[in-house]
Amino acid sequence: MVEFGDTIRPEHSAAVAKLTKAFDEAALPGVREVVPTFRSVLVQFDPDATSEAELVNAIGAEIAGEAQRETRTFSIPVCLHGEMAEDIDEMAAELAMPTDDVRAGIVRSRLQVGMFGFAPGFIYLSGLDPSLELPRRKSPRPPMPKGSMIIAAGMAGFSPAVMPTGWYVVGQTAVELWRPKQTPKTPFEVGDYLQVVAVDEATIRELTMDPTGGVEELRS
Q: Where in the chain is the domain with CATH 2.40.100.10?
A: 73-218
Q: How far is the C-alpha of 90 from the C-alpha of 147, rounded, in Å?
A: 19
Provide DSSP, 44-79. EE-TTT--HHHHHHHTHHHHTT-S-----EEEEEEE
- In DSSP terms, which residues pair with 169 in a beta bridge? 150
Mean pLDDT of the chain: 92
Q: Where in the chain is the domain with CATH 3.30.1360.40?
A: 2-63
Q: How far is the C-alpha of 73 from the C-alpha of 154, rounded, in Å?
A: 21
Confidence class of residue 68 from pLDDT cuts 50, 70 and 90?
low
Q: By the 8 A CB rule, do 112 and 124 touch?
A: no
pLDDT of residue 127: 92
Residue 21 has pLDDT above 60, yes or no: yes
Task: Read off the pLDDT of residues 141-154 as tens digits, 9 standing for 90 and up.
Answer: 999 999 999 999 99
State yes or no: cis peptide before 184, omega within 30 of 0: yes
pLDDT of residue 147: 97
For domain 73-218, give the CATH superfamily.
Answer: Cyclophilin-like (2.40.100.10)
pLDDT of residue 17: 84
Q: Among residues 128, 118, 139, 140, which one has the least CA distance to residue 95?
A: 128
Task: Read off the pLDDT of residues 72-107 as tens digits, 9 standing for 90 and up.
Answer: 999 999 999 999 999 999 999 999 999 999 999 999
Q: Among residues 162, 184, 187, 186, which one has the least CA distance to residue 172?
A: 162
pLDDT of residue 128: 95
Q: Among residues 127, 146, 130, which one has the least CA distance to residue 195?
A: 127
Which amino acid, residue 150? I
Over its C-alpha atoms, the chain yields an Rg (Å, rounded) of 18
Percent of the chain with pLDDT strictly greater than 70: 95
Percent of the chain with pLDDT strictly greater than 90: 73
Domain at 2-63, CATH from 3.30.1360.40, 3.40.250.10, 3.30.300.30, 3.30.530.20: 3.30.1360.40
